[in-house]
Amino acid sequence: MKKLLFFSNNKNKIIEIKKIFNNFNLELLSLNDLNISEEPEENGQTFEENAKIKSDYGFIKTGIPCFADDSGICIESLNWKPGVLSKRFLNKFKSNEACFDNIIQSTKKNSKQNAYFKTSISLTIKDNQNVIFNGKIDGKISEQAKGGFGFGYDPIFIPKNYNKTLAELSTQEKNKISHRSIAVKKLISFLSN
């Protein structure tokens, strides 16, 4: 396998993934490289199902082995939601800051700070043949949004054994511990064997 398609239009995710794949002798393509803008509807009930919908779609459309991820944050004070609806939940607010304030208030009100990020990656090599890789990072919701790195919910998530949010860590530091890098490293290890 010389080429691999990462099924994403998220520029930040693509940069993060390409950095993890840096030392790997493989041409990593994104949807942008192939001028593909349409994406299938992510109507799965789990991260695994959504990742599979996207990796199957990418493989069928291009014939290139394809992997896709679905990630989200699960917050104890919101009954472990938004989960697979993380992106939609964030987009419901007029700004990321408004969403973060809502989550932080909910956390304080319920005195429940625990949260985790989860990533599921689906790799499609042949029709209807998928391999799934999962990554998870535990932590808590911060008392205020901090940091200018990262994206999504990174400014309000403090990983376990850290006192900084993911958005306060450099991409290099984040890639050592993040849910996405854990899943991607499992994928790379699979591809190496």
pLDDT category at 9 given cuts 50, 70, 90 is confident
pLDDT over 80 (residue 24) = no
Which residue type sits at 129? Answer: Q
58 pLDDT higher than 70: yes
Distance, CA of 147 to CA of 169 (rounded, Å): 8
SS3 21: coil
Going by pLDDT thresholds of 50, 70 and 90, the confidence category of residue 19 is: confident
Residues found in the chain: 193
pLDDT band (50, 70, 90) for residue 23: confident
pLDDT average, residue stretch 93-121: 96
Is pLDDT of 94 > 90?
Answer: yes
The fold of 3-192 is Maf protein (3.90.950)
Q: How confident is the model at residue 69 (pLDDT cuts 50, 70, 90)?
A: very high
Contact 159, 140 (CB under 8 A): no
- How far apart (Å, rounded) are the C-alpha atoms in residues 163 and 186? 27
For 50-61, what is the mean pLDDT? 96
Percent of the chain whose predicted confidence (pLDDT) is above 70: 99
Taking all residues of the chain, what is their mean pLDDT, rounded to a whole number? 93
Q: What are the residue numbers of the active site?
A: 70
Q: 138 pLDDT exceeds 90?
A: yes
- Cis (ω within 30 of 0) for the bond into 65? no
107-123 mean pLDDT: 96
Distances (CA, A) of 166 to 50, 133, 156, 163: 24, 22, 8, 10
For the segment 24-43, the average pLDDT, to the nearest whole number, is: 89
Given a contact cutoff of 8 angstroms between Cβ atoms, the answer to whether 83 and 44 are in contact is no
Q: How far apart are CA 54 and CA 99, in angstroms?
A: 27
pLDDT confidence bin for 1, thresholds 50/70/90: low
- Flag whether pLDDT at 25 surpasses 80: no
The residue behind tokens 């625990």 is: 114
Q: Tokens 């030392």 belong to which residue?
A: 23
The single-letter code of the amino acid at 150 is G
